[in-house]
């Protein structure tokens, strides 16, 4: 997965680089952007007051990518530099780094989420503390460390459907029967990742991970 994501990041265009004054939202924005990148430690309040900015300076900067900003983003997403090194090399105060870093949207029809089996859409988030990234599914919001294929997703959906039917039968049996050892309430633990379950009693040491064995135990206890 990492190699695929790295290749994507290398080719990713954050926002089209603005190379001339005419491409900026206004001459004031052009001047603001230049003034910030000449001194990334400059007071943001000073810039807001000087250029009459309503809202966040960071939003203005992200909407007007300069050459310096582009170089900074390439450094960040190369994953070769720590936050300390980024500050030393760019002059950007450490507390401002996270506000200047973009999340990256990623979508690939061949890369399916291994948790929800549906999504092919993700957000790549930069981890400033570890100079690394994590990939989060846009549908189930879980962190992804690997992808599965469409075929694997279909097979897993069918497997889960069968597992859910089994769990439904187990719950019906548990509603009708208590622990075959001590007649106390039974509980159910399920793990959808490996389609396993455990029927257990919290009052004694009874447990079973097989429906047929559980029903046999129940019959014997009568």
Strand 132-137 relative to strand 143-144, pairing: antiparallel
Q: What are phi and psi of 24, to 5 degrees?
A: -80, 160
Q: What is the mean pLDDT of the chain?
A: 90
Local confidence band at 186 (pLDDT 50, 70, 90 cut-offs): very high
Local confidence band at 15 (pLDDT 50, 70, 90 cut-offs): low
- What pLDDT shows up at residue 16? 67
- What pLDDT shows up at residue 102? 86
Average of pLDDT values for 24-36? 88
**Percent residues over pLDDT 70 in the chain:** 95
Average of pLDDT values for 162-189? 91
- What pLDDT shows up at residue 2? 76
**Percent residues over pLDDT 90 in the chain:** 64
pLDDT over threshold 70, residue 27: yes
Local confidence band at 211 (pLDDT 50, 70, 90 cut-offs): confident
Residue 195 structure tokens: 């389609």
- What pLDDT shows up at residue 198? 96
State how far the Cα of 133 lies from the Cα of 97, in Å rounded to an integer. Answer: 15
Local confidence band at 67 (pLDDT 50, 70, 90 cut-offs): confident
Q: 5-19, 21-35, 72-86, 93-107: which range is least confident on average? A: 5-19
Average of pLDDT values for 50-75? 89
Q: 13-17, 90-94, 165-169: which range is least confident on average? A: 13-17
- What pLDDT shows up at residue 18? 63
- What pLDDT shows up at residue 9? 86
Contact 51, 79 (CB under 8 A): no
The Cα angle at residue 71 between residues 31 and 23, in degrees rounded to 5: 40
């Amino acid at each position: 997965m990492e190699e695929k994501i790295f290749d994507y990041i290398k080719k990713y265009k954050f926002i089209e680089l603005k190379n001339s004054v005419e491409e900026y939202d206004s001459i004031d924005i052009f001047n603001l952007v230049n003034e910030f990148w000449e001194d990334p430690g400059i007071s943001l309040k000073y810039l807001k007051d000087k250029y009459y900015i309503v809202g966040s300076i960071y939003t203005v900067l992200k909407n007007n990518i300069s050459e310096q900003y582009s170089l900074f983003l390439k450094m960040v997403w190369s994953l070769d530099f720590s936050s300390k090194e980024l500050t030393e090399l760019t002059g950007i105060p450490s507390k401002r780094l996270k506000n200047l870093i973009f999340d990256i949207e990623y979508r690939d029809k061949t890369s399916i989420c291994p948790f929800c089996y549906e999504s092919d859409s993700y957000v790549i988030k930069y981890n400033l503390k570890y100079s690394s990234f994590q990939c989060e599914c846009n549908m189930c919001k879980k962190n992804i460390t690997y992808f599965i294929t469409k075929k694997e997703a279909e097979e897993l959906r069918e497997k889960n459907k069968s597992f859910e039917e089994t769990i439904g039968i187990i719950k019906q049996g548990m509603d009708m029967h208590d622990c075959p050892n001590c007649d106390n309430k039974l509980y159910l633990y399920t793990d959808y990742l490996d389609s396993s379950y455990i029927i257990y009693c919290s009052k004694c040491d009874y447990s079973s991970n097989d429906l047929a064995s559980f029903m046999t135990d129940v019959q014997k206890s009568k």
